[in-house]
Chains A and B, each alone.
Chain A
Amino acid sequence: MTFPMFDNGYSRKDPNFYNMLLLSLVAHFTAIIIVLFSVPSAPRHLTFGPVYSVSLVGPQGIPAKSQESSSLVKEIEQADIAGEAANSFIYKKQINQSVSVPIEKADTDRISIEKAINAIRRKGLAQRMSSNSLPRNNSGGRTDRMAAAGGASISETSGGTAAGGSGGQASDYAGFVSSRVHSNWSIPPELKPKSNIVTVIEIRIRRDGLLAYAAFEKRSGNKIYDESAMKAVKKSAPFPPLPAAYPSGIMEIGIRFHPSQLR
Chain B
Amino acid sequence: MLIALLISSFVFFGGDAAAKVYVDVNSPNFRLFSIAICDFNTADAGIVSKSGNLGVALADEIKMYLKLTGLFNPLNKKSFLDDKFINPVIFANWMMIGADYLVKGTVEQSEQEISNECRLYDVVKGEVLFNKKYTAGRDDLKALAKNIATDILFTLTGEEGDFDTQIAFVAKKGDKGDIYTVGYDGSDLKTVTGHRSIIIAPRWSPNGQFLAFTSFKNDVPAIYIRDLSSGAERKVASFQGINLCGYWSPDGQKLLMTLSKDGNEELYVLEVQNMRLKRLTSNYSIDVSPSWSPDGKKIAFVSNRGGSPQIYTMDADGGNVKRITFEGSYNTTPAWSPRGGRIAFEGLVNHRFQVFTIGEEGDNLSQLTFDAADNESPSWSPSGRQIAYSSRTGSKSKICVMNANGTNVRILREGGGFAMMPMWSPRLK
Chain A residues engaging chain B, CB cutoff 8 angstroms: 25-26, 29, 36, 45-46, 48, 143, 151-163, 166-167, 170-171, 174-175, 177-178, 181-183, 185-192, 194, 202, 223-224, 228-229, 231-232, 234-235, 246-248, 250-261, 263
Contacts and interface: CB of A to CB of B under 8 A. Distances in A.
A154 B24 CA distance: 6
Nearest to A102: B96
A41 B214 CA distance: 91
A182 B20 contact: no
Bin the interface of chain B by size.
35 or more
Contacts of B6: 29
Given A153-B24, A189-B30, A255-B25, A247 B16 contact: yes
11 contacts: A46-B13, A151-B27, A186-B29, A187-B31, A191-B71, A234-B125, A235-B124, A256-B25, A257-B28, A258-B26, A259-B28
A113 to B, nearest CB: 22
A156 B22 CA distance: 6
B19 A36 contact: no
Interface string B4-34: 0110000011111111111111111111110
Contacts of B341: 194
B100 interface: yes
Given A48-B13, A188-B31, A157 B20 contact: yes
Nearest to B359: A194
Contact of A171 (B21, B31, B125): B21
Nearest to B15: A161
Contact of B70 (A48, A181, A190, A254): A190
Contacts of A152: 23-26
B2 interface: yes
Contacts of A246: 18
Contacts of A26: 2
B27 A259 contact: yes
Contact of B24 (A36, A155, A162, A223): A155
Contacts of A166: 17
Contacts of B125: 231, 234
Given A161-B16, A163-B17, A234-B125, A192 B30 contact: yes
Contact of A45 (B5, B17, B29, B100): B17
B147 to A, nearest CB: 22
Nearest to B71: A188
B405 interface: yes
A160 B18 CA distance: 12
Contacts of A257: 25, 28
B23 A178 contact: yes
Given A29-B2, A188-B32, A190-B70, A258 B23 contact: no
A152 B31 CA distance: 18
B53 interface: no
A248 B17 CA distance: 8
